[in-house]
Every structure is written in structure tokens, then in C-alpha cells.
Structure 1
Amino acid sequence: MTKAPTPLRHFTRRRFLATAAAAALTAGLLTGARPLMAQEPIKVAAIYTVPVEQQWVSRIHKAAVAAEERGDITYTFSENVSNTDYARVMREYAEDGTQMIIGEAFAVEQEAREVAAEYPDIAFLLGSSFKPDPALPNFAVFDNYIQDASYLTGIIAGSMSESGNIGLIGGFPIPEVNRLMHAFMAGVRETNPDASFQVSFIGSWFDPPAAKETAYAMIENGADMLYAERFGVSDAAQEKGVLAIGNVIDTQADYPDTVVASAIWNFEPTLNMAIEQVKAGTFEADDYGRFSIMKEGGAELAPLGTFAGKVPQEAMDLVEQRKAEIMSGDYVTEINDEEPKSN
């Protein structure tokens, strides 16, 4: 494994790993685990280009830890793997008897699929902006379709912003980020139709200082609410006394006076279905993105914590109404993968 960088100020590595382990025994019950047949655990390896503390990767890691604690898998991982080394690490795990490899193919799509073709008996489940290819039956894809929860956080954000000037800071303008930002902005307009947006991308998946500096600039330009798609944004919001909305993970406990609400991604439904299929010998090229939606337990609105009772009741009533409509299918959050722009 590669060495992770210095821990973040609030969300430390030690705390993260301890929390993941402590939650493992109950995580499956809370987020869609499926009972599996009593069999030998399958050997699973994960390859991450960032530290396991990073929001998106941390959710995959948490689900894998829970599956290992249940006895469904054995789990090992490599973090901070560069894009140029990704294919090599895939082959190393494939040669080591690994039965399923999980991770991310966003910047290594062609190389990852080439490796999968070399090892047809190994299941590959990788985050991807592209669809599965029937000609590569052992390569399945997934995505974080948590736009429903992002939309709900937008309703809350719009009601809590006094200036109506809202900043959004993301890593890269790829569909996985764009759709969440658009859903968030749509929610904001429900309660603050005249809101304006500052949108910026820092060009990195893990650069808290850059995200923090970008947030400072938006606050200087009048933003009183920030969409924290990256680590570092909530630190700036906390220091400057403005509010923030979390993404993918819940950091409310770390920023009790800052983070109002968060859209949570639960990877357990995705991973548990893949484990079932590998054990049953039925794993195939498939799009697991559907297991990330709210109706499947793949997304949720985090508890408001210290902000419970502080959000206008009218906004919370709309949140509950929309949540019920989403679960019943009466409301469908628009998926817009185009790059969002400032207005």
C-alpha cells in the first residue's frame, strides 16, 4: 500500500479508520445489505487514486470494511495509486488470486478495460462515466447517482441563504459531479428562486488547500452558503462564519455550526449485489448505477444534527413532501450532466 498524506485538520485518518471499523457490523443492516449464502469469503481488492479519507472513496471503503466484518469478503486496498500505475496494480492483484477488483476507471478507462480483458475469470467493478460493454462480460460499472439527496439539500440551502449568493466548488466538471450540482441548484430555486450561483472546479480530487482558497474568494464575492463537493470548503466556511452543504459523506459533527445538511452516498447496495453475483457465478457486464439512487437505499439526506429546528419549517415540509414523492416515483429529479456555469 502507498503512504497517505498528512491527516486533515478535522477529518483525521485515525478517526476515519476507527469509525469505519466500528460501524462495519451494523452498516449492512442500515444501508441495504443482502444476506448471502454461507460460503468462503471472496477475495476483494480495491485500487484508489486518492487516500481512503477522500469523500467518494471513503464510501466504497466503508462498504468493503462492513462486508469483510460480515465474513462475505477478505479485503485489501491500495491508495494514492497514480493513473500511470493503475493498470500495473490491477494486474498485480489479478495475479495474486483476487476474485473481484473494485475502484475507479474515470482517468484510466481504456487501460482498465484492457486489463479486464486479460483476466476474464476476475470480476471488475469500477466507477466509470461510460456504460458496460457486452463484449467484456466481466467488467461492470457504477456511479454515484445521488441527485435526489443533492436536490433535497438544495431546498434547505436556499431557505437558509440570506443573500441568495451561493458558491459551488467541485473537483472536475465530469458528469458525476455536474449532475449533483445541477440537482442542488434546482433545489435551491425551490425556496430561493432568485438565487445566483458561483461555480468553480479546482482540477483535483484531493486538494483541500486549493478548495479552501477558492471558497475564500467566493465568500469575498458575497456567498453566504457553499456547496462543499471537495474537502477544504467547509473549513473556509467555518473560518468565515458562513454555511455549507456537504456531499457524499456527513461531516456535520466536524462542523456543527457550519454544515447544515449533506447528501449521503451509500455504496453498500452496489457492493453487496456484486458480491452476491460473484458468489453465485452470475457476475456480468452491468450498470450498477441504479443501486445508488434513493429508492434503492443508495442515497439519503443526512440528519440535520445541530441544525435540527433551525431550518424554516416550510422548507422542511417541502423536503418531506419531495422525499415521499421520490420514493413513490411521483417525483423524478432531473439528471443534467452538462457542466454548470456561474450566473
Structure 2
Amino acid sequence: MPSFSNKSRTLPVSRRALLKTAGAGAALGLVGTLPSRLFAQEPLKVAAVYTVPTEQQWVSRIHLAANAAKERGDIEYVYSENTANNDYERVMREYCEAGHKLILGEVFGVEDAARDVARDYPDVAFLMGSSFKEDPSVPNFAPFDNYIQDASYLTGLIAGAMSQTKNFGMVGGYPIPEVNRLMHAFMAGVREVAADAKFQVAFIGSWFDPPKAKETAFAQIDAGADVMYAERFGVSDAAQERGILAIGNVIDTQADYPETVVASAIWHFEPTLDKAIEQVKAGSFTAADYGVYSFMKEGGCSLAPLGTFEGKVPAEVKALVAEKEAAIKDGSFTVEINDEEPKSS
């Protein structure tokens, strides 16, 4: 196994702003799917390249799913974290050269380079977090994203009922589709319960800066917010210190904030990863949008248990949440996917 040099880095203000259309004019004539080679008799060699620490919300869910597959004996799993954008391609290539057959990661800031690597290793499958869609010219590269707007909408229903001021603070990392759609879904849920709701929306320009997120949250609380949407780490700390409520995102942190975090939208990466493992082992992995496996009806997201707030959320709101959740799962209700940047109102 080669050694990997990981470096911290600063992410761009907008993932899409620095990206070019992936794969344009670079097709190598690859067609169909990966060669029909079977790996079912032995664990699949999987490697992940992360640009942030594995404790960061988004990446932690990928890491959790990969470790679960490893414990089942389905895969061998190694990873690099805190990989700088300008080092990402090298790390990907070294993992390919080391014989790994499935590469995971998040390539929002290195789209072109990542897809170039995929072209150079047609026998390796790449399952990558991406703002772009699949490209038939790179048949071994499949994008995914955390489309957990279903669960975010449900947390909005709860938040709308729990607020006294109907003033909601929202602190995100960057105004990109992956964040925007969750915020809009939350806001839609809030408005269904509190039509006169006001929202303070801010972005801190970082994926992992808890102190800055906390400072931003304090400013929104000072401006009247009594429920905070904690898209980033640090927001729930501010809410806890000021004695108000918070709504979690991607992971459940209620155990750390038992009197603060009333509800959370949880991302489950297992359906996404398990599908990829199955297809790689069957030799049928191909370019496809794996984002659909984050939908609630696919088991890709859920509302965290209310826990300490089970007896505090009004019964009629819990009934509404159960009704909407059932409708989402059976397809009779669809949460709108809005990728536009949300604004304060």
C-alpha cells in the first residue's frame, strides 16, 4: 500500500463556480459497463478519498456505511481524509494502482481531474459525491448526492410547531444545491405549520468551521431566532448556550444536546453503497445517478427519533409528521427539490 500525504484545505465558495462541464470532448470511446468480472468470492477492495475529517457530518455517513460493509465481510476498506484538492488526483491514482476496485469520495472541487482518473482506469468503479450528473463517456463514474429533502421537510413541520417567535435561524456551509435543497425543504415544512414564519439565512464559507458557525448562530439568535437549523457543526452549541432549540442535519446529535436538538434529518448512505458494491461484484457497474438512493422511499434518509422531545412535540404535529412520512414513502406526496439559493425573509 502506498503512503498517502493528506493536507487540510480551504473549499471554494461555490463548488459549481470552479467546475467546468465534466468530460466534454474527452471521451475515449468507452461504452457499456465495466468488464463482467466477478468479485463475489472475496471482499471487494474499496478506498475512499475525503477532503475533510471523517467526523464531518456528510463524510461521516459514507465512512459509517463503508465500515458496516467491511464488518459484514463484503469489502476491504481504506481511506484518506483531509486530502487537499490539489492532491486529490494523486491519491486517487495511487489507490487505483494499489488494486482497489471501487473508489469513493466527494469531488465537488475536482470534477474534471476525478473524471480524468476514471477514464484512465476503466476497470475501476468510481462512486463520487458530485454536483454534476452521469456522463456516458465515463461509464465507470457514477455520481451521488444526499437528497434527504424528505426528512428535512419533516423536521420543518416539527420546528414550526415548537417555535414561539416564528423566527428561524439557518446556518449553512455554502449555498450549493446539496445544501440549498435541504434548507428549502425545511422551510416548506415550517411554513405548512407556521405560515407567517421568518427566516434568517447565512452561509459561513466553510464545510468545517464550528467556531464561525457558532458565531453566526449567535447573531441570528440575537436577532430573534428561537429555533436554529444546524446545517453545520457549531450551531447547536450556540443554541444550547442560549437555551433555544435546534434542528439537526445528516446525523443525530441529540445525545450531545439532549435539551436542544429536537429533531434531525438523517442520511443513510448504506443503500447507495450497497447498490454499488452489488453491481461492481456482478460486473454491471455503470454510469448512473446514485442520488435516488438517498430518497426516503429507498431507505436513504429518515427522521431521527424524537427521544427527549417525544413528550414535548404536540400530538397533532406528530400525527401530521406520520401522515406525511407515509405519503412520501408510498409516493402520494413529493417534497419539492429546489436547488436555488435560499434567502432570508
Equivalent position amino acid for 2:310 in 1: A
Question: TM-score, normalized by length of structure 2?
Answer: 0.89
Contact 1:178-1:339 at 8 Å conserved across structures: yes
Deviation at 1:105, TM superposition (A): 1.1
Q: Number of paired residues?
A: 313
SS at match of 2:335: coil
SS at match of 1:74: strand
Which residue is 2:47 aligned to? 45
Deviation at 1:312, TM superposition (A): 1.1
Which residue is 2:254 aligned to? 252
Which residue is 2:161 aligned to? 159
Query: How has the CA–CA distance of structure 1 residues 242 and 71 changed in structure 2, closer, same or farther, with 3 Å as cutoff?
Result: same
Contact 2:40-2:281 at 8 Å conserved across structures: no
- State which of 160, 185, 188 in structure 1 corresponds to 2:187: 185
Contact 2:40-2:282 at 8 Å conserved across structures: no
- State which of 138, 141, 144 in structure 2 corresponds to 1:142: 144
Query: How has the CA–CA distance of structure 1 residues 303 and 4 changed in structure 2, closer, same or farther, with 3 Å as cutoff?
Result: farther
Contact 1:2-1:80 at 8 Å conserved across structures: no
Deviation at 1:37, TM superposition (A): 8.9
Which residue is 1:321 aligned to? 323
After TM superposition, the runs of 4+ consecutive aligned structure 1 residues lying more than 2 A away are 1-5
Q: List gaps (5 residues or longer) in structure 2.
A: 9-37
Equivalent position amino acid for 2:277 in 1: I
Q: How does 1:71-220 map to 2 (within 5 A)?
A: 71-220=73-222
- State which of 254, 262, 265 in structure 1 corresponds to 2:264: 262
Which residue is 1:19 aligned to? none
Deviation at 1:4, TM superposition (A): 9.5
Which residue is 1:62 aligned to? 64
CA distance in 2 between counterparts of 1:315 and 1:90 reads: 47
CA distance in 1 between counterparts of 2:233 and 2:294 reads: 22
Deviation at 1:315, TM superposition (A): 1.1
SS at match of 1:52: coil
Question: TM-score, normalized by length of structure 1?
Answer: 0.89
SS at match of 1:230: coil
CA distance in 2 between counterparts of 1:161 and 1:260 reads: 11
Query: How has the CA–CA distance of structure 1 residues 4 and 155 changed in structure 2, closer, same or farther, with 3 Å as cutoff?
Result: farther
> By percentage of residues, which structure has more helix?
1
Deviations 1:152-208 (A, max 9, x none): 000000000000010111101110100000000000011111010000001111010
Contact 1:4-1:51 at 8 Å conserved across structures: no
Deviation at 1:3, TM superposition (A): 7.2
SS at match of 2:142: strand
Query: How has the CA–CA distance of structure 1 residues 171 and 194 changed in structure 2, closer, same or farther, with 3 Å as cutoff?
Result: same
Deviation at 1:313, TM superposition (A): 1.3
Contact 1:2-1:79 at 8 Å conserved across structures: no
Contact 2:126-2:141 at 8 Å conserved across structures: yes
Contact 1:165-1:225 at 8 Å conserved across structures: yes
Contact 2:6-2:80 at 8 Å conserved across structures: no
- State which of 253, 277, 280 in structure 2 corresponds to 1:278: 280
Q: CA RMSD in A?
A: 1.4
CA distance in 2 between counterparts of 1:100 and 1:3 reads: 20
Which residue is 1:311 aligned to? 313
